[in-house]
Amino acid sequence: MPDALLSLDSVSKSYWRGPSEVRVLSDACLELHAGEFMGVWGRRGAGKTTLLRIAAGLETPDRGTVRFDGEDLSLLSEQGHARLRRDEIGWIRRSGPRSELCILDYVALPLLIEHGQREAKRRADRALRRVGMAECAGQHWESLSDGERALVAIAHGIARRPRLLLIDDPTANLGVREREEIMILLRALVEETNLAVLMTVPDMPTALRSHQLRALSGGRLLTPPPDGRDDGDDGDEDNVIDFPGIQRSA
Amino acid sequence: MLELRELVKHFPAASGAPIRAVDGVTLAVPDGEFVALYGPSGSGKTTLLMLIAALMRPDSGSIVLNECDISKLSDADSARYRLNELGFVRQTLNLITGASALDNAALKLMGTDMGAREARRRIVPLLDRLGLGERVSHRAEQLSMGERQRVMIARALSTEPKLLLADEPTGSLDSMRGREVLELLAETCRERKVAVLLVTHDPQAASFADRVFALRDGRLAEHEPDHLSAALKAG
C-alpha cells in the first residue's frame, strides 16, 4: 500500500478552559491515503474541529507528529505551510461564509490569486457543474437552500483541486435525503479524482458512505487493531468499524 | 448619496398576516456620512441590507444610489453593482487560508478586468493606510482577528465603492479591536467621502456614527441622543 497522504502519529492537544486543562486529543493516530474517505464521529466538543485544524497545520499539537505526503508539518517553513493550505488542502467549514458575490464569483474567488479572471471562472464553473450547481452560478448565497449551500461549499473546496479535503460537517442542517446525496457526491469525488477526504460527521448513519469511520471520544481517536481482531486494546470494546466490501485504494 | 424611498419588503408567514420586515423605510445617506441602523434581532436590519445590496428586490419603493435605481437592476447589473459600487464588511470573514494579507485584500480587484499584478500594486497603499503595511506578506491565519477584519475592509474599499455596508463588523472582536475597526470605518467615511451604513444591535458600535436610526418591526426612527445614551447605560 502506498504511503499515507495524511498521517497523525500519537497527536495530543489540550486547551485551558478557565482553570481546567481539557485534553481534546490524546495520542490520536490515523492514516489517510489518496482515494480514501474517512469519517470522524464524536459528540459536540469532542475535538473534531481541532482534529481537522491540526491536520491542516492551522494548529500545532502539544505532542506527536502530523505528516502530509511524508513531510512533517512541524518542519515546514511558513512558505511551505502556505503552499500546503493554498494548493494541497481544501477546507469546507460547517457554515460557509455569507457572501454578496454571486455563486460563480464566490467559488472563483480563491482561484483569482493564481489564475486570471477567465480561467478562475472556468474552473469555478467546472466545480459547480460537478456538484450539480451550475444553474445557480448567477444566484447568490441568500437565495440558496441549506442543501444547495452545502453543495456550493463543496464546489468552493474542490475548485483548486486539492489532494486532501477537510470537511467540518456541512450537513448538520440537512435532512436525511440531502445528507445522503452529499455523502454520495463526496464518495464519487474521492473515487473519480483520488481525492482524500477527512470529514467530521454528525452521526453514524451519515458515515456509511465513507471508507473508514473513526470515533472521537474522551480525546481518543478509536482505531481498529492492525489485524482486524479485537485484541482488547486498553480494554476498549468500542472499536472502529471497517465496512466489509469497501476496498481501500491500492 | 444613497436614498431609500418608502421601501417595503414583506415575507409570507405560515399563518395570518405577512411579516413586514421592512415597512416603509425612507432614509438618505449623503457621501461622507456615517449612519448606523440600530435594532434588535428580527427588527429588519439584515433584510434592509440585502435590499440595498440588491440581493433581493423590494415589494415597493426605491433604492437610489447616485441617481441609479438599484431596485430595478437586472441580475447581471446587480452583480456588477456589488462588485464595483458597493463595499461589504461582515462579521464573518471570507479570507483565503494560505494566502497573504496582500492577496486576500486584492481579491476583489482581481475579479475585475485588472490583472493580478496591478491589483496587488494598487492595494498596498490602502493596506498601509489601514495599519497593515508591515503585515502584507503575512498569511491570513497569521493575522489577529482585528487585522483580518481590516484586510476585509481593505478588500471592500479596493474598488473605491460609493457605498460601504457594514453588517455587525465587530461581532467577532473584543471591545478594543472593535473600537479600532469602528474608528477606521468613521475615518474612511470622512477621508474617502464614502457613505457608510452600519447595521448593529450594539449601542456602543452605533455611537460611532454621525446619525443613528433605530429599526424596529421594519420601521425607522431617528434615535434621540438621550435614547442612545440610555441604551448604552443599559449595556
pLDDT for A250 equals 37
Instruction: Round to whole Å and give the CA distance between A246 and B4.
Output: 59
Q: Select the residue of A58, A98, A105 nearest B92 (Cβ to Cβ).
A: A98
pLDDT for A151 equals 93
Instruction: Round to whole Å and give the CA distance between A140 and A125.
Output: 15
Q: Select the residue of B83, B90, B98 nearest A85 (Cβ to Cβ).
A: B98
Min Cα separation A176/chain B (Å): 24
DSSP string spanning B209-228? SSEEEEEETTEEEEPPHHHH
In terms of CATH, what superfamily is A6-98+163-235? P-loop containing nucleotide triphosphate hydrolases (3.40.50.300)
Instruction: Round to whole Å and give the CA distance between B143 and B131.
Output: 12
Contacts of A101 in chain B (CB under 8 A): 79, 82-83
Min Cα separation A192/chain B (Å): 26
Q: Note the pLDDT tens digit of each residue in B106-160.
A: 999 988 878 889 999 999 999 998 889 999 999 988 899 889 999 999 999 999 9
Let me know how long chain A is: 250
Q: Do A142 and B107 lie within an 8 Å CB cutoff?
A: no
Would you list the domain boundaries of chain B? 2-85+161-234, 95-159
Least confident of A77-81, A87-91, A231-235, B55-59: A231-235
Q: Do A97 and B112 lie within an 8 Å CB cutoff?
A: no
User: Is domain B2-85+161-234 annotated with CATH 3.40.50.300?
Assistant: yes
Q: Are B88 and A100 in contact (CB under 8 A)?
A: yes
**A73 compared with B225, residue with greater pLDDT:** A73
pLDDT surpasses 60 at B198: yes
Instruction: Round to whole Å and give the CA distance between A34 and A69.
Output: 10
> What 3 state SS string does A183-236 have?
HHHHHHHHHHHCCEEEEEECCCHHHHHCCEEEEEECCEEECCCCCCCCCCHHHC
Neighbours of B229 (CB within 10 A): 13
Average pLDDT, integer, range A193-209: 85
Instruction: Round to whole Å and give the CA distance between B190 and B130.
Output: 14
The secondary structure element, H or E, covering residue B23 is strand B19-29
Would you list the domain boundaries of chain A? 6-98+163-235
If DSSP codes are grouped into helix, strand and coil, which group holds residue B146?
A: helix
* Residue in this structure with the C-alpha cell 480563491, named with its chain if needed: A110
Burial class from Cβ neighbours inside 10 Å (0-12, 13-18, 19+) for residue A21 reads exposed
Q: Are A239 and A67 in contact (CB under 8 A)?
A: no
Q: Note the pLDDT tens digit of each residue in B53-107.
A: 998 899 999 999 988 999 888 888 888 888 888 998 988 778 888 889 999 999 9
Q: Which of B225, B206, B233, B234 is nearest to B37 (CA)?
A: B206
